[in-house]
Structure 1
Amino acid sequence: MTPANSSNRNDSGNKANVKNELIDAFLEMMTVERAASANTIKNYKRALSDFSLFCRKRSETLDTAGASDITAWLAELEAAGISASTAALKTSALRQFYNFAYSDGYRADNPASTVARPRTRRPLPKTLSVEEVETLFNAANEASGEKGARLRAMLEVLYASGLRVSELVSLSQSNIQRDENILLVRGKGDKERIVPLTARAVVAIDEYLAVRSAKNAPWLFPSRSAQGHITAARFAQLLKALASKAGISVQKVSPHKLRHAFATHLLEGGADLRSVQQLLGHADITTTQIYTHIAQDRARRLVNDKHPLSTIKRDDS
């Protein structure tokens, strides 16, 4: 990122361009990888623009702002009487923006990491149940031809590995270590990690490669796109169509929500948090901890709904 202490007019213009490019990159990631709604994108863009204007009054920019700037802005908003939900949305925008900037190497620090969340209870992110994932697979099994085989392979690999959608679509055949059935994945921050594949995923890949027309393509999932491989946006569209065919709400299905499901179902099955962190490629284990909350919430609901004594009141007389 450009230096923050230059007063030269050209440097100021360059900083503005970097800022805008970074915001654009962040919003593109939210759209493609997180399947964020148009309304969320609009709200996040507005929050970042408002914070940028606040920083300017303090002779700072998005590039140079620190935790004290974020805290001061939130305090100003609270004094202006904004609702707790609006404060939570704006805080979320900054936390995710700076987490993205830090994870992708645009900043050497994350100034939002120490900022306290607003005093409001946010609902846990919804994730697909095991039964819903099985329903998706069953619908995918009905698809025919090369495109059907490709969809099954991508679905199996995603749920078996928990890859980010950007990592999934850009897999090359050299990423697959066939002798050990593992993937070598280069993720955020150019960090490499090893992810094992299930036997089902390996079979799905083999079945797809057997019918794939582009025999010599370096990408595992080639296409006619500018990148040479299927795009994240196109795969997200295919998943939505598959969800509709399977009778599952399309709002519940996206590549990122299948990544959620991978992590949640592993923890529900007894996996330890550190292993799940490594598989997901999270730099900070606190990012992974949200999945333990989801698993705990499900366990709590299961006990309350299914335990034979859950609805029987105690007689304390």
Structure 2
Amino acid sequence: MISIQSFLKYLEFEKRSSEHTLISYRCDLEQFLSFCEDKEVREIGSITTKFVRRWVVKLVDDGMAPKSVSRKITALKSFFRFQMREGVVEVSPVDGVVTPKIPKKLPVFVRDAEMNHLLDDIPFANDFEGVRDKLILELFYGSGMRLSELVNLTDRCFDLKQGLVKVTGKFKKERLIPMYKELVELVKSYIGVRDAEFGEVGAFFVTAKGVKVYHKLVYRVVNKYLGLVTTLHKKSPHVLRHSFATSLLNAGADLNAIKELLGHSNLNATEVYTHSSFEKITDIYNQAHPRS
């Protein structure tokens, strides 16, 4: 009879695995053992790569998500590595099993019409916080910068004559992002209102008390205003970053240029936006082609 108890004890005492990991491994392995019993496979040495593949096929046919299937295969690989270490088997039957490809999640984004409605039609308060909040939204959507990059901006980051903003991204990598004319004017207006209210401050974006903004405050601002124009479940600064990239791609911008603007280290991270763009193209085709 195949047992997993010694393996679980090994994880608990030798590997010092968390309770969550132990529970997960136990459930996944017990499910595999149940499959073994159904097929009357009672000896661990009788388990072949073909048999493991049959189990994986059954999981997929039962509608299990690829991510869950991959987790179960990982648990089984760990189990058989332990059995090899103990001298129970010489070769792991799981080594020849390929994990299913996990599809990338498509980025959530706000449509251009919704963003234009927010920035052009929705009234913002005519005070410091109103001016600041509109600039936060406009800067996220107009530059694609990350939340941490926006929070850490200083006045020195802006070259208003050239219409550029310098941001410091991951691994302290700096990049320059161009700003359109209206965004430059918004930056000038904000600086004027901020300086009149608080005088000289160290940070670019500040709270109503004149101190540097923090992540949760900026998140709340974005969430509040996006809630006025979209029913998306996620309404975060990163959604505006996705919206920036998707808008550029849909308008025909070069993928390499978008990569540089976003500060991605490789093109693979940027290519996820092509899926959203292709969906839009498909919709247009289906609506416009006479034979569709």
Distance 2:68 2:255 in 1: 26
Change (3 A) 1:118 1:127: farther
Offset at residue 79 of structure 1 (A): 9.4
Kindly tell me the number of residue pairs found equivalent between the two proteins. 220
Deviations 1:95-142 (A, max 9, x none): xxxxxxxxxxxxxxxxxxxxx883465562332110011122135543
Distance 2:263 2:69 in 1: 26
Q: Does 1:158 align with 2:140?
A: yes
Distance 2:121 2:133 in 1: 11
SS of the equivalent of 1:251 reads coil
Q: Does 1:183 align with 2:183?
A: no
Task: Find the counterpart in structure 1 of residue 65 from structure 2.
Answer: 85
Distance 1:183 1:236 in 2: 21
Distance 1:117 1:160 in 2: 40
CA contact (8 A) 1:274 1:285 kept: yes
Of 213, 238, 261 in structure 1, the residue corresponding to residue 221 of structure 2 is: 238
Identical amino acids, percent of aligned pairs: 26
Change (3 A) 1:302 1:84: same
Offset at residue 81 of structure 1 (A): 4.9
Task: Find the counterpart in structure 2 of residue 111 from structure 1.
Answer: none
Task: Find the counterpart in structure 1 of residue 249 from structure 2.
Answer: 267
Offset at residue 185 of structure 1 (A): 1.1
Deviations 1:17-41 (A, max 9, x none): xxx9xxxxxxxxxxxxxxxxxxxxx
What's the TM-score, normalizing by structure 2? 0.65
Task: Find the counterpart in structure 2 of residue 193 from structure 1.
Answer: 175
CA contact (8 A) 2:146 2:238 kept: yes
Change (3 A) 1:247 1:287: closer
Distance 1:198 1:88 in 2: 45
Of 204, 223, 238 in structure 1, the residue corresponding to residue 186 of structure 2 is: 204
CA contact (8 A) 1:162 1:263 kept: yes
Task: Find the counterpart in structure 2 of residue 102 from structure 1.
Answer: none
Distance 2:283 2:222 in 1: 28
SS of the equivalent of 1:271 reads coil
Task: Find the counterpart in structure 2 of residue 138 from structure 1.
Answer: 120
Distance 1:89 1:136 in 2: 42
Distance 1:89 1:156 in 2: 42
Unpaired segments ≥5 residues, structure 1: 1-15, 21-45, 52-74, 92-115, 312-317
Q: Compare 148-157 and 233-242 and name the one that shifted more.
A: 233-242
- 1:234 maps to a residue whose letter is L
CA contact (8 A) 2:124 2:131 kept: no
- 1:238 maps to a residue whose letter is V
Distance 2:283 2:58 in 1: 39
Change (3 A) 1:267 1:247: closer
Change (3 A) 1:158 1:247: closer
Q: Does 1:309 align with 2:290?
A: yes
SS of the equivalent of 1:185 reads strand
Q: Does 1:229 align with 2:212?
A: yes
Task: Find the counterpart in structure 2 of residue 276 from structure 1.
Answer: 258
Task: Find the counterpart in structure 2 of residue 218 from structure 1.
Answer: 202
Task: Find the counterpart in structure 2 of residue 248 from structure 1.
Answer: 230
Distance 2:260 2:64 in 1: 34
What's the TM-score, normalizing by structure 1? 0.60
Distance 2:69 2:121 in 1: 36
CA contact (8 A) 2:149 2:169 kept: yes
CA contact (8 A) 2:66 2:100 kept: no
Aligned-pair RMSD on alpha carbons? 3.5
- 2:205 maps to a residue whose letter is F
CA contact (8 A) 1:78 1:87 kept: no
Q: Which has the larger radius of gyration?
A: 2
SS of the equivalent of 2:145 reads coil
CA contact (8 A) 1:171 1:221 kept: yes
Offset at residue 85 of structure 1 (A): 2.1
Deviations 1:60-93 (A, max 9, x none): xxxxxxxxxxxxxxx9x969958642626987xx
Unpaired segments ≥5 residues, structure 2: 1-15, 26-52, 72-97
Change (3 A) 1:117 1:281: farther
CA contact (8 A) 2:142 2:244 kept: yes
Change (3 A) 1:177 1:193: same
